[in-house]
Structure 1
Amino acid sequence: MDVTIIRKLFQILRIKMSSSSNSLLVPIGVRGMKRLDREKFLRNIKVPVLKVPDEKLSKIISICRPYFLKLQNFKPVQNLLVKQSENLYKCLYFDPEKITKWHNISEDDRKNLYKYDIDEKHFDLQEIQLTYDNFKHETIFKAVLPDNEEIVTGFSQIGHIIHLNLRDHLLEYRSLVGEVLVDKIKTCRTVVNKSNIIDNTYRNFNMEVIAGDEDFLVTVKENMCNFQFDFSKVYWNPRLCKEHERILKFLTPGDVLFDIFCGVGPFAIPAAKQKCNVFANDLNPESYKWLNHNAKHNKINMNLFKSYNMDGKDFICTTFKAFIIDYCNGKEKLNTGAKIHITMNLPALAVEFLKYFKGLIKDKELKNKYDCDISVYVYCFAVGEDPFTVAKQMVNDNIGTDISSNIIDVFDVRNVSPKKQMMRVTFKLTKEIIFDDNSESDEPPCKKQCTNDTDK
Structure 2
Amino acid sequence: MLPSFVIFFQTLRFKMSSSSNLSLIPSGVRGMKRLDREKFLRNITVPILKVPDEKLSTVISICKPYFLKLQKFKPVQNLLVKPSEKLYKCIYFDPEKITKWHNFSEDDRKNLQECDIDENNFDLQEIQVTYDNFKHDTIFKAVLPENEETISGFSQIGHIIHLNLRDHLLEYRSLVGEVLVDKIQNCRTVIHKTGIIDNTYRNFKMEVIAGDEDFLVTVKESRCIFQFDFSKVYWNPRLSREHERILELLSPGDVLFDIFCGVGPFAIPAAKQKCKVFANDLNPESYKWLNHNAQQNKVNMNLFKSYNLDGKDFICTTFKTFVTNYYNGKETLKKGAKIHITMNLPELAVQFLKYFKGLIKDTQLNDKYDCDIFVYVYCFSVGEDPYAIAKQMVNDNIGKDISSNIVDVFDVRNVSPKKEMMRVTFKLTKEIIFDNNSDETEEPPCKKQCSNDKDT
Q: What TM-score, normalized to structure 2?
A: 0.90
Rounded Cα–Cα distance in structure 1 between residues aligned with 2:403 and 2:113: 71
Deviates more, 1:431-440 or 1:289-298: 431-440
2:196 paired residue number: 197
2:176 paired residue number: 177
SS of equivalent to 1:331: coil
CA gap of 1:197–1:107, structure 2 versus 1, over 3 A, is: closer
Q: As a proportion of its length, which structure holds more helix? A: 1
Tell me if the contact between 1:205 and 1:232 (Cα under 8 Å) persists in the aligned partners.
yes
SS of equivalent to 1:127: strand
Rounded Cα–Cα distance in structure 2 between residues aligned with 1:84 and 1:248: 62
- Match of 1:353, as an amino acid? F
SS of equivalent to 2:248: helix
- Match of 1:318, as an amino acid? T
Deviation at 1:275, TM superposition (A): 0.6
> Map of 1:292-311 to 2, 5 A cutoff?
292-311=291-310
- Match of 1:119, as an amino acid? D
Give percent identity, aligned residues only. Answer: 83
Tell me if the contact between 1:313 and 1:445 (Cα under 8 Å) persists in the aligned partners.
no
Rounded Cα–Cα distance in structure 1 between residues aligned with 2:404 and 2:112: 68
2:413 paired residue number: 414
Rounded Cα–Cα distance in structure 2 between residues aligned with 1:105 and 1:366: 76
Whether 2:20 is the aligned partner of 1:26: answer no
2:42 paired residue number: 43
- Match of 1:225, as an amino acid? C
Deviation at 1:64, TM superposition (A): 2.7
- Match of 2:418, as an amino acid? K
Aligned length: 427
Deviates more, 1:412-421 or 1:255-264: 412-421
CA gap of 1:133–1:317, structure 2 versus 1, over 3 A, is: same
Q: What TM-score, normalized to structure 1?
A: 0.90
* 1:75-116 CA-partner distances (Å, limit 9, x unpaired): 111122234954432222122222223333344444444444
- Match of 2:376, as an amino acid? Y
1:129 paired residue number: 128
CA gap of 1:39–1:271, structure 2 versus 1, over 3 A, is: same
**What stretches of structure 1 move > 6 A for 4+ residues in a row?**
none
1:453 paired residue number: none
1:242 paired residue number: 241
2:5 paired residue number: none
> Map of 1:197-276 to 2, 5 A cutoff?
197-276=196-275
Deviation at 1:23, TM superposition (A): 6.0
SS of equivalent to 1:142: helix
- In the alignment, structure 2 segments of 5+ residues that lack a partner are 1-20, 449-456
Rounded Cα–Cα distance in structure 1 between residues aligned with 2:378 and 2:57: 55
* 1:143-196 CA-partner distances (Å, limit 9, x unpaired): 111111111010111111110011111111111111111111112111110111
Deviation at 1:199, TM superposition (A): 2.2
1:150 paired residue number: 149
Rounded Cα–Cα distance in structure 1 between residues aligned with 2:202 and 2:360: 31
- In the alignment, structure 1 segments of 5+ residues that lack a partner are 1-21, 449-456
Whether 2:298 is the aligned partner of 1:321: answer no
Rounded Cα–Cα distance in structure 2 between residues aligned with 1:63 and 1:400: 64
- Match of 1:75, as an amino acid? K
CA gap of 1:110–1:420, structure 2 versus 1, over 3 A, is: closer
Rounded Cα–Cα distance in structure 1 between residues aligned with 2:118 and 2:367: 88
Tell me if the contact between 2:224 and 2:269 (Cα under 8 Å) persists in the aligned partners.
yes
CA gap of 1:356–1:39, structure 2 versus 1, over 3 A, is: same
Tell me if the contact between 1:268 and 1:278 (Cα under 8 Å) persists in the aligned partners.
yes
1:444 paired residue number: 444
2:391 paired residue number: 392
Deviation at 1:410, TM superposition (A): 1.2
Rounded Cα–Cα distance in structure 2 between residues aligned with 1:359 and 1:382: 26
Tell me if the contact between 2:276 and 2:303 (Cα under 8 Å) persists in the aligned partners.
yes
SS of equivalent to 2:253: coil
CA gap of 1:445–1:71, structure 2 versus 1, over 3 A, is: same
* 1:346-390 CA-partner distances (Å, limit 9, x unpaired): 011111111111111222222222222111111111111111111
- Match of 1:397, as an amino acid? D
Rounded Cα–Cα distance in structure 1 between residues aligned with 2:418 and 2:115: 58
2:432 paired residue number: 433
2:80 paired residue number: 81
- Match of 2:310, as an amino acid? D
CA gap of 1:432–1:117, structure 2 versus 1, over 3 A, is: closer
- Match of 2:126, as an amino acid? E
Tell me if the contact between 2:22 and 2:44 (Cα under 8 Å) persists in the aligned partners.
no
Rounded Cα–Cα distance in structure 1 between residues aligned with 2:84 and 2:114: 22
Deviation at 1:320, TM superposition (A): 0.6
Deviates more, 1:60-69 or 1:102-111: 102-111
Deviation at 1:343, TM superposition (A): 0.5
Rounded Cα–Cα distance in structure 1 between residues aligned with 2:396 and 2:106: 67
1:373 paired residue number: 372
1:404 paired residue number: 403
* 1:189-218 CA-partner distances (Å, limit 9, x unpaired): 111101111222111111111111111111
Tell me if the contact between 2:22 and 2:95 (Cα under 8 Å) persists in the aligned partners.
no
Tell me if the contact between 1:81 and 1:87 (Cα under 8 Å) persists in the aligned partners.
no
1:351 paired residue number: 350
CA gap of 1:255–1:77, structure 2 versus 1, over 3 A, is: same
1:138 paired residue number: 137
RMSD: 1.8
- Match of 1:369, as an amino acid? K
CA gap of 1:130–1:333, structure 2 versus 1, over 3 A, is: same
Deviates more, 1:59-68 or 1:78-87: 78-87
Deviation at 1:443, TM superposition (A): 5.3
SS of equivalent to 2:87: strand
* 1:402-440 CA-partner distances (Å, limit 9, x unpaired): 212211111111111111111111111112211222222
1:291 paired residue number: 290
* 1:26-85 CA-partner distances (Å, limit 9, x unpaired): 111111111111111112122222223323322332233233211111111112223495
Rounded Cα–Cα distance in structure 1 between residues aligned with 2:377 and 2:83: 75
Rounded Cα–Cα distance in structure 1 between residues aligned with 2:396 and 2:120: 77
- Match of 1:56, as an amino acid? K
1:72 paired residue number: 71
Tell me if the contact between 1:264 and 1:294 (Cα under 8 Å) persists in the aligned partners.
yes
Deviates more, 1:40-49 or 1:80-89: 80-89
Rounded Cα–Cα distance in structure 2 between residues aligned with 1:390 and 1:57: 59
1:452 paired residue number: none
SS of equivalent to 2:125: strand
Rounded Cα–Cα distance in structure 1 between residues aligned with 2:447 and 2:380: 23
CA gap of 1:359–1:170, structure 2 versus 1, over 3 A, is: same
1:12 paired residue number: none
Deviates more, 1:169-178 or 1:368-377: 368-377
Rounded Cα–Cα distance in structure 1 between residues aligned with 2:200 and 2:388: 29
